[in-house]
Amino acid sequence: MNHFPIKLQLRIDWSEMDLFSHVNNVAYFKYIQASRVNYWEKTMLTNIFSENKTGPILLSTNCQFIIPLHYPGDIVVESRMEFIKNTSFGIHHRILNQLGEVAAEGHDVIVFFDFNKNEKMRVPDEFRKLVAELEGRDY
């Protein structure tokens, strides 16, 4: 599946360059984080957290670096839901360079968490419904 409904355009900053004149690997994780939070905002997770202190907590993230990025430049980070299980969900990210080439791919695993009880919880049906509407498929 190649449908990525969430797109975030970002500018590469000169400070993200490393000694070898390409974007440092740490910056890729910053781009993925920005896209992750953007996805959370689109699916109202930030509102759910504000209302009752339940919401996402990052369990793991990874990134496969495919081609280097350089300054100056713009990128687009695309995101889509990969899976929703009982207490967790996964988001797949693609970082595209300004030519539309995939420069990197990232995968997050996120647990739905009750911060009041300090324990994981079932992914709410309200969130599943919002994701299904956004993605155009059921979870």
**Cβ–Cβ contacts within 10 Å for residue 89, how many?**
22
pLDDT at 138 over 80: yes
What does the alpha-carbon distance between residue 43 and residue 105 come to, in Å, rounded to a whole number? 21
Q: Give tens-digit pLDDT for 23-73.
A: 999 999 999 999 999 999 999 888 888 889 999 999 999 999 999 999 999
Q: What is the pLDDT of residue 28?
A: 98
CA gap 72, 52 in Å, rounded:
42
Summary mean pLDDT of the chain:
95
- Look at 87 and 126; give whichever has higher pLDDT: 87
Q: Where are the domains of the chain?
A: 6-12+20-135
Residue 119 binned pLDDT confidence (cut-offs 50, 70, 90)? very high
pTM over 0.85: yes
Read off the tokens for 12.
Answer: 């590469």
pLDDT (0 to 100) of residue 1? 53
- For residue 125 the two structure tokens come to 């049906």
pLDDT of residue 2: 66
Does the domain made of 6-12+20-135 have the CATH classification 3.10.129.10? Answer: yes
